[in-house]
Structure 1
């Protein structure tokens, strides 16, 4: 990796604009099928961790949060409700960059969830009603039957489009960033790595205000 693609010296006071640039760059280059894919880790019973890949659908760098969407009754939804903090990792192998995030989570305001749900394809909206996410399933055929049942109930058996309301158990999750680590691959595995941390103060049900960032370069 060229020197101008490593982290700057001195480190920026606010890392979120650089994160936003990296995120936009990964999407613009289209070097992998889902550049907005990230691993999200949660904590469940007995402090047992679990992780899965989800899609980051929104980054708000000026406030400092990202948004993904899920079934609130799923394993991750239940774990986030009980332990409202998460970690996330983006890894863009082709452009030699990685971003790690940590912070508290809140469930998104209803208008934010409604807006995104309405933008989804019809089958995805139907599927949000049909899938009892993370729960046992007798067979693939049983899932197909659940989908057909939802289509029938909503009057969509022959439709390719239609009005499907957002399920109350489905919506957005905001991860407010209080810790971020940026990593850039270096020659000879001498990578460039730095971590920033800040204190968040809760303002209301959906919003935090952030204090100043403290940045530290790390050994790779």
Structure 2
């Protein structure tokens, strides 16, 4: 990437990168099930990409005002893509008011993207609890200490953390502790209606394959229509 500054109030990006991955992507070459295709791609990139589980999560308010941020993908099950967060955060409030979301993975090192659009649902408390107890002690304490997305004063979160450590009897060198799942924290699942796989190609003539859920097919055993999209 090169930057051009034609005037003090203007900036332009001049990109010279050309994609040239060795593989091709087509409806005939992908798995019939997009979840299987995603598992294949994620497995293939896990050693080549730094933090391949990072994904953009886009939500919208009840009025349709969008917002995006990066979160960590944690699980793919038979229904969809799972991530965890505070249920009082901005993202959770927007998902509660407008239960739809979009995800995007970008794996620059291998010139691949995956885009997901779907409906959202909360995970059962038991599922969230199982994951929460697998987290490091510091992450579990942090979930209790942070009122995510709220305005805080300087040092306020650190003070809350010390209070939480005292509450659960955790010292600085504690390796494990019985820290329960907060009632305000847990998982969301994006149940996809659309999944697109993208492979970068020269001259911006990228390969794009989209899976659309067949209307009326169940969330637990969906059927998919597979199409090639113009770049």
Taking structure 1 as the reference length, the TM-score comes to: 0.89
SS in 2 for 1:47: coil
1:171–1:200 distance in 2 versus 1, CA, 3 Å:
farther
Which one of the candidate residues 109, 112, 122 is aligned to 1:97?
112
SS in 2 for 1:124: helix
1:61-87 C-alpha deviation (Å, 9 max, x unpaired): xx2411100001100011111111110
Q: Is 2:182 aligned against 1:163?
A: no
Which one of the candidate residues 83, 89, 97 is aligned to 1:74?
89
RMSD: 1.9
**Native 8 Å contact 1:41 1:49 kept in 2:** yes
Rg bigger for which structure?
2
Deviation at 1:111, TM superposition (A): 1.8
Which residue does 1:46 correspond to in 2?
A: 63
1:109–1:201 distance in 2 versus 1, CA, 3 Å:
farther
Segments of structure 2 that go 5 or more residues without pairing to the other structure are 1-19
Which one of the candidate residues 106, 130, 135 is aligned to 1:115?
130
Deviation at 1:129, TM superposition (A): 0.4
Segments of structure 1 that go 5 or more residues without pairing to the other structure are none
* Greater fraction of residues in helix: 1
SS in 2 for 1:7: coil
Which residue does 2:159 correspond to in 1?
A: 145
1:30-89 C-alpha deviation (Å, 9 max, x unpaired): 421x110000000114210011101001112xx241110000110001111111111000
Taking structure 2 as the reference length, the TM-score comes to: 0.85
**Native 8 Å contact 1:102 1:179 kept in 2:** yes
**Native 8 Å contact 1:97 1:185 kept in 2:** yes
Q: Distance in 1 between matches of 2:76 and 2:222?
A: 19
- Give the 4+ runs in structure 1 shifted more than 4 A: 199-203
Equivalent pairs counted in the alignment come to 210
**Native 8 Å contact 1:84 1:106 kept in 2:** yes
Which one of the candidate residues 189, 197, 206 is aligned to 1:182?
197
Q: Is 2:24 aligned against 1:6?
A: yes
Q: Is 2:49 aligned against 1:31?
A: yes
